[in-house]
């Protein structure tokens, strides 16, 4: 379903106006509650908040339109060259086998990791 830009803008303006009217009505209701005997300063805070809530859709419409116009006015960007891969230094592998059994397991694990790194390096070439 394609709508014309004019119809879409009128619909957005209608939603913004409806939001403002509704929120001003809620602000009036909170003012009446604040003015009553049971009113608190919280009601006064709502009196100040509701109109801001009502203006928010209009602000968002304005902001999105400004960003769109700024993007259309900007010159097209040329694609950047891809960054060259960074060569990491070769890992230092100790070929000595430690006497401690826990260290032997650690050395075997490190040797396994070095082998995996070497395979990965070969597959990249």
Predicted confidence (pLDDT) per residue in 76-123, tens digit: 777 777 778 888 888 877 676 555 666 778 888 888 999 999 988 888
Closest-CA residue to 91 (of 115, 68, 114, 109): 114
Helix (H) or strand (E) holding 30: helix 5-35
The C-alpha atoms of residue 58 and residue 105 are separated, in whole angstroms, by 67
pLDDT of residue 14: 93
* Residue with token string 């694609």: 79
The percent of residues in the chain predicted with pLDDT above 90, rounded, is 37
């Amino acid at each position: 379903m394609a709508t014309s830009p004019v119809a879409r803008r009128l619909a957005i303006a209608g939603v913004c106006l409806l939001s403002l009217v509704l929120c001003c009505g809620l602000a009036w209701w909170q003012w009446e509650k604040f003015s009553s005997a049971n009113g608190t300063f919280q009601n006064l805070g709502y009196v100040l908040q509701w109109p801001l809530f009502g203006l928010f859709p209009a602000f968002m419409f304005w902001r999105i339109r400004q960003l769109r116009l700024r993007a259309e006015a900007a010159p097209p960007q040329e694609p950047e060259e891809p960054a060259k891969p960074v060569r990491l230094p070769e890992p230092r592998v100790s070929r000595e086998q430690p006497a401690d059994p826990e260290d032997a397991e650690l050395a075997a694990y490190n040797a396994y990791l070095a082998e995996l790194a070497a395979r990965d390096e070969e597959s990249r070439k």
